[in-house]
Amino acid sequence: MAENLNLLRAFGGVFFIFWTAFNTALVDVVGSEQQIPLSVVKLWASAFGGEIKSIAAKYSGSQLLQKKYKEYEKDVAIEEIDGLQLVKKLAKNMEEMFHKKSEAVRRLVEAAEDAYLKHEFDADLQYEYFNAVLINERDEEGNYLELGKEFILVPNDHFNNLPVNISLSDVQVPTNMYNKDPAIVNGVYWSESLNKVFVDNFDRDPSLIWQYFGSAKGFFRQYPGIKWEPDENGVIAFDCRNRKWYIQAATSPKDVVILVDVSGSMKGLRLTIAKQTVSSILDTLGDDDFFNIIAYNEELHYVEPCLNGTLVQADRANKEHFREHLDKLFAKGIGMLDIALNEAFNMLNEFNHTGQGSICSQAIMLITDGAVDTYDTIFAKYNWPDRKVSMLSPLFNGKPEASCP
């Protein structure tokens, strides 16, 4: 960066000198009503060109490149290449590479399914596993901590020279979860069988880097094993279930309409919670999903007025854009949920017919402090008997409920 700045400064300095000299000469000539001799212009151009060449040679390294080329010139040959054959070769190599990767995943899936089916849950199971945070940690007396046995780590070039164990995987558990929760211990126990598959996959395809298994229970098994370091507060915020790859794998693509009650009863804390709930819902949506947000009271208020009657892809830019508009919502009036439900069902139906959405699952998510009716007539019109659209409604004055379809 510094060299580039020096180069620009150098070029700027030369150009300034040339331009100043040119203007000075031009003023002199104009003032004297004389023409600039061609030889003088050639001299200026030659001087300017010489300076440019000198600076370019100094900062581009061209002379060093020429020297290196001379060293290997005798070993270099120019060959004519068939472009079509080259493309075919590249395509074949890529196909083989992706096949190896997909086969590695297939073996892991089969091993995980088989191990899970064979395991019987034991609430009293005691099992010492390698916890990625606690490995190699000792207490004041020099004894290894519980779940922190000796775990050999050796720097490996293939893994960015990080200290790893290519013979074993280890397990990371989010800080807000109990390391020895029965669900965690049982999951870690049966997933231990993945170790041999991890190692076998790496032996078959040395180009593989990280392999891992993310559990719905929250634990994260990673190969090769590596030590995780908490932040300055002793916290590791990572939770595999919140990662984009996990969400996309665990859920099918979906079209979602989020209805937010902004009637007068939602003033204050309830509206704040509603906005946070919507933001959390957006976090669960991935690039394969489509969504829109409608606020309602006596009228409908699209959070983004430019996107009335349609859904947008749930990519990062769109989600952030909608989050910004959430702050503009305020509560007043009476909540007319029937109007909002009709709008949502019509939107999903029309959008599905365009073939532009996920063409898979559809859902309406209702954020409210309560509904005064069951709206059976609306569900009968749009969603019965097939019940193609799911509807979830967290009620702030009661437990979260799944309603209707």
Q: Is the pLDDT of residue 400 over 80?
A: no
3-state SS string for the chain: CHHHHHHHHHHHHHHHHHHHHHHHHHHHHHHHCCCCCHHHHHHHHHHHHHHHHHHHHHHHCHHHHHHHHHHHHHHCCCCCCCHHHHHHHHHHHHHHHHHHHHHHHHHHHHHHHHHHHHCCCCCCCCCCCCECCCCCCECCCCCECCCCCCCCCEEEHHHCCEEEECCCCEEECCCCCCCCCHHHHHHHHHHCCHHHHHHHHHHHCCCCCCEEEECCCCCEEEECECCCCCCCCCCCCCCHHHCHHHHHHHCCCEEEEEEEECCHHHCCHHHHHHHHHHHHHHHCCCCCCEEEEEEECCCEEECCHHHCCCCEECCHHHHHHHHHHHCCCCCCCCCCHHHHHHHHHHHHHHHHHHCCCCCCEEEEEEEECCCCCCCHHHHHHHCCCCCCEEEEECECCCCCEECCC
**Mean pLDDT, residues 265-276 taken together:** 90
pLDDT tens-digit series, residues 295-342: 999 999 999 988 888 899 999 999 999 999 998 888 898 888 889 999
CB-CB neighbours of 176 under 10 Å: 10
Q: Following CA atoms 90, 95, 98, 103 in sequence, which dihedral angle do they give, to the nearest 10 degrees?
A: -150
Strand arrangement, sheet containing 211-214? 170-172, 220-223, 211-214
In whole angstroms, what is the distance from residue 133 CA to residue 343 CA?
A: 50
pLDDT at 124: 93
pLDDT tens-digit series, residues 127-170: 999 999 999 998 888 899 888 889 999 999 999 999 999 999 99
Q: Domains along the chain?
A: 91-244 (no CATH), 251-392 (3.40.50.410)
pLDDT tens-digit series, residues 189-206: 999 999 999 999 999 999
In whole angstroms, what is the distance from residue 318 CA to residue 322 CA?
A: 6
Across the chain, mean pLDDT equals: 83
Taking the mean position of all CA atoms in its chain, how far away is CA 282? 13
pLDDT at 106: 94
pLDDT tens-digit series, residues 56-81: 888 888 888 888 888 887 777 778 88
pTM for this predicted structure:
0.56
Tokens 């007025």 label which residue? 305
pLDDT tens-digit series, residues 362-388: 889 999 887 777 778 888 888 776 666
Q: Is the pLDDT of residue 10 over 70?
A: no
pLDDT at 19: 47
Which of 76 and 207 is assigned the larger pLDDT?
A: 207
In whole angstroms, what is the distance from residue 29 CA to residue 27 CA?
A: 5
